[in-house]
Each structure stands twice: as C-alpha cells, then as structure tokens.
Amino acid sequence: MKWPKRNRRWIPGIVFWVLFLGSIALDEQHPWVRTVWVAAWLLFLIIVALIAIVQIFRHRHDTGGVMSYRGG
C-alpha cells in the first residue's frame, strides 16, 4: 500500500518529538545527550545558512522581492 505524500508529513515531527522527549528522560543518566543536541542544532543552523547564501547568490540579479535591499 502506497501512502499519499500528505499523510507522511507528520513522520519527521514524531521522530523529532520521540528523540527530544527521550533525550530529556536520559539527560540525568547520560550527560553527553545535551552535547549531541547542541551539535545537531549547530549543524542545522549551518545548513540553513548555507542554503540562504546559495539562494542569495543564485538570485543576485533579481530585482524586488525579498532581496530588494540590494537596490535594483
């Protein structure tokens, strides 16, 4: 049975919450869990920053829109 895409949107949310709540439960016994979360957030922020930089360079000649501060 093939699931429609709209029914699969909630899977990453459930995975995140299971990991997040599990890490809160294991925080007392395993202090390294906090370090893993910090590393995961830093990796996420780096990926978002790289995507933003790529978008800026791909659309640097466009006028108006979000990048209108460049003057065009």
Confidence (pLDDT) at 18: 92
Show Cβ contacts of residue 70 under 8 Å, excluding neighbours closer than 6 positions. Answer: 60
In a domain, 41, yes or no: yes
In a domain, 68, yes or no: no
- Please report whether residue 55 resides in a domain: yes
The pLDDT assigned to 68 comes to 47
At 1-58, the pLDDT tens digits run 566 666 677 888 899 899 889 888 888 888 888 898 899 999 999 999 999 999 888 8
DSSP annotation of 45 reads: H
For 52, the domain range is: 5-61
pTM (2 d.p.): 0.58
Please count the structural domains in the chain.
1
Which residue has tokens 């699931």? 3
For the stretch 34-44, pLDDT in tens is: 898 899 999 99
